[in-house]
């Protein structure tokens, strides 16, 4: 019975015993078990910890999230090789606030090293490095390493054991990869900054500011130049303002690249409010880092999916640029979700949960840059269409205007050639056309006659009845003159009450007959004006073309002389010769 009890006791002792890490000539140990204890009061000392037995066993990749607790880790390491070996215990993250390494050998502390940004000294050049402690083990020697960690950033990390060569290799590869990714992001930011100076599109500025905020955050987490040295602890956490800033600038970028304002004023103002909120949060993080970052992480869990939703809504509304935005955000949101879950302690720390966000951001920035480039293409296409429409519209308007001008010109020519009141030709076209007809008549030895009419006592009509009524008399007489005229006849008003009819191929006798017919018709004419009628008479002088006549002036001069004779002999008569 006692034998079985001893065996059972030995079994449980073995079950809860701390696992010893056995080291031989292998250069790297990446997977092993460590023991951990959470000090919720953050008051325990190394002496208190060495006497505590309630450590629990976990893997060497730890994720404890955001916490005010201090975590202690314990590693029991034994050299099972036949020679003395030298190794380095490495933490893969440099963002821990305070790290204390304690090395015990034979229950005696032989080494204590402080590391982390919380131990930066004021005013000196403090290097941001991934914490590491060197230790050596003689043949069959066992040492215990305690690590005390407190952090304002998420408590996630990985413990690795390297020899010198592997340690140097890890640092080279880490720095090279991050330098490449960050350098690529900076190149994209610079490229789009140059485009901004060309286009003046504010979307490019928000892209650049978003890129720089993300780069500042990641370089300060990884100790990459220029965020590898700091004057003090506060200056390190000052860089933490870049975290809410990147969400702010991403929100503003979303608002402009997706042209949310044209889609929905409500969403546009909502995104501006969110962006402004994170700007304020960034300012607050300078004075109260820890609560600001907690608020940022809590709200970002809702904001980032909302931005993705904005991309979907924009795409549904026909914005082709949104497809680039959606692909970028899906990739980045997937990686940032892994990062957040690991940061809050819901997911084990590993390569993908820690560094996937960097790769996701790199792809995101490329897709955002493509979206901006495609936006320029669309804008140029729209500009071309607008210009083409404007050109077509201009051509139509020019043709329309040209037609209007031609019509106006014709109207002006008509107005210029015709008397506005009577509708007859005026003096200028009468003389131009008459002189050509006279030249032809003299050449062809044909006859042309001219009738010169004058309304008798027209001044008395105006004085008695008024100028408006006088105009009606002129219109009535003009209508009589045009009545029964041939196409070749020219009828014109050459002054106030003087009128001319040019009769091609008409001899003197026939012209006199036509004049008499017109005189008689006017004599019987009644011009109706409201409640009364106006009667009037006309006098006429007749002349015909002679060989010595040079132009119409000569014919009108003779006709005018005979008209004057008609006026002197009682008016209302036609005079066709110089003897009355």
- d(Cα 351, Cα 61) in Å, to the nearest integer? 10
Nearest to 361 by CA among 229, 469, 248, 213: 213
Which contacts qualify for 41-47: CB closer than 8 Å, 24 or more apart?
Answer: 42/68, 42/69, 42/70, 42/150, 44/70, 44/72, 46/100, 46/102, 46/109, 46/112, 46/146, 46/148
Give the DSSP H/E element, type plus range, for residue 133. Answer: strand 132-137
| Residues counted in the chain | 580
Q: How many CB atoms lie within 10 A of CB 82?
A: 10
- d(Cα 120, Cα 235) in Å, to the nearest integer? 10
Q: Which residues pair with 147 in a beta bridge?
A: 73, 101
- d(Cα 233, Cα 256) in Å, to the nearest integer? 37
- d(Cα 297, Cα 304) in Å, to the nearest integer? 11
Q: At a CB cut-off of 8 Å and minimum separation 6, what does 12 contact?
A: none
Give the DSSP H/E element, type plus range, for residue 110. Answer: strand 108-115
Q: How many CB atoms lie within 10 A of CB 267?
A: 19
- d(Cα 486, Cα 484) in Å, to the nearest integer? 7
- Write down the catalytic residue from 413, 497, 521, 523: 497
For residue 516, indicate whether it is catalytic. no
Q: Is the peptide bond before 226 cis (omega within 30 degrees of 0)?
A: yes
- d(Cα 380, Cα 432) in Å, to the nearest integer? 59
- Would you name the residues annotated as active-site residues? 497
């Amino acid at each position: 019975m006692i034998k079985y009890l001893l065996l059972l006791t030995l079994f449980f002792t073995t079950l809860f015993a701390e696992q010893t890490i056995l080291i031989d000539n292998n250069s790297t140990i990446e997977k092993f078990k460590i023991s951990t204890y959470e000090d919720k009061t953050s008051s325990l000392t190394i002496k208190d910890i060495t006497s505590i037995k309630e450590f629990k066993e976990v893997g060497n990749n730890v994720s404890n999230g955001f916490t005010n607790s201090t975590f202690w880790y314990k590693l029991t390491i034994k050299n099972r090789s036949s020679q003395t070996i030298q190794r380095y215990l490495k933490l893969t993250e440099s963002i821990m606030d305070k790290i204390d390494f304690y090395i015990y050998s034979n229950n005696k502390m032989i080494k204590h090293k402080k590391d982390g940004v919380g131990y930066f000294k004021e005013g000196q050049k403090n290097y941001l490095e991934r914490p590491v402690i060197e230790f050596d083990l003689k043949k069959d020697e066992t040492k215990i390493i305690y690590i005390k960690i407190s952090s304002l950033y998420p408590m996630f990390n990985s413990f690795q054991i390297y020899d010198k060569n592997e340690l140097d290799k890890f640092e080279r590869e880490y720095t090279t990869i991050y330098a490449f990714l960050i350098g690529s992001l900076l190149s994209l930011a610079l490229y789009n900054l140059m485009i901004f100076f060309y286009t003046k599109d504010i979307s490019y500025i928000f892209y650049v500011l978003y890129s720089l905020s993300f780069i500042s955050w990641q370089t300060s987490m990884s100790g990459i130049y220029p965020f590898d040295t700091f004057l003090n602890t506060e200056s390190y956490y000052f860089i933490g303002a870049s975290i809410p800033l990147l969400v702010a600038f991403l929100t503003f970028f979303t608002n402009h690249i997706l042209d949310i304002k044209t889609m929905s004023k409500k969403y546009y103002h909502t995104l501006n409010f969110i962006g402004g909120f994170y700007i304020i949060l960034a300012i607050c993080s300078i004075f109260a880092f820890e609560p600001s970052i907690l608020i940022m992480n809590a709200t970002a869990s809702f904001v980032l999916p909302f931005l993705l939703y904005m991309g979907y809504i924009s795409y549904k509304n026909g914005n082709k640029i949104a497809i680039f935005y959606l692909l970028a955000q899906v990739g980045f949101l997937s990686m940032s979700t892994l990062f957040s879950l690991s940061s809050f302690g819901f997911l084990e720390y590993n390569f993908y949960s820690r560094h996937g966000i960097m790769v996701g951001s790199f792809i995101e920035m490329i897709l955002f840059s493509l979206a901006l480039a495609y936006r320029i293409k669309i804008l140029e296409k729209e500009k071309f269409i607008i210009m083409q429409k404007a050109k077509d519209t201009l051509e139509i308007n020019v043709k329309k205007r040209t037609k209007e001008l031609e019509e106006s010109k014709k109207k002006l020519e008509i107005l210029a050639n015709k008397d506005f009141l009577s509708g007859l030709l005026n003096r200028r076209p009468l003389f131009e056309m008459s002189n050509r007809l006279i030249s032809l008549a003299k050449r062809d030895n044909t006859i042309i006659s001219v009738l010169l009419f004058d309304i008798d006592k027209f001044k008395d009509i105006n004085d008695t009845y008024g100028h408006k009524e006088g105009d009606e008399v002129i219109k009535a007489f003009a209508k009589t003159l045009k009545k029964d005229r041939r196409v070749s006849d020219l009828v014109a008003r050459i002054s106030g009450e003087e009128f001319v009819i040019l009769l091609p191929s008409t001899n003197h006798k026939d012209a006199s007959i036509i004049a008499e017919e017109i005189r008689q018709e006017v004599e019987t004419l009644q011009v109706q004006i409201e409640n009364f009628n106006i009667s009037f008479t006309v006098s006429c002088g007749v002349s015909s073309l002679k060989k010595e006549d040079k132009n119409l002036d000569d014919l009108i001069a003779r006709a005018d002389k005979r008209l004057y004779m008609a006026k002197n002999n009682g008016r209302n008569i036609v005079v066709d010769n110089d003897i009355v």
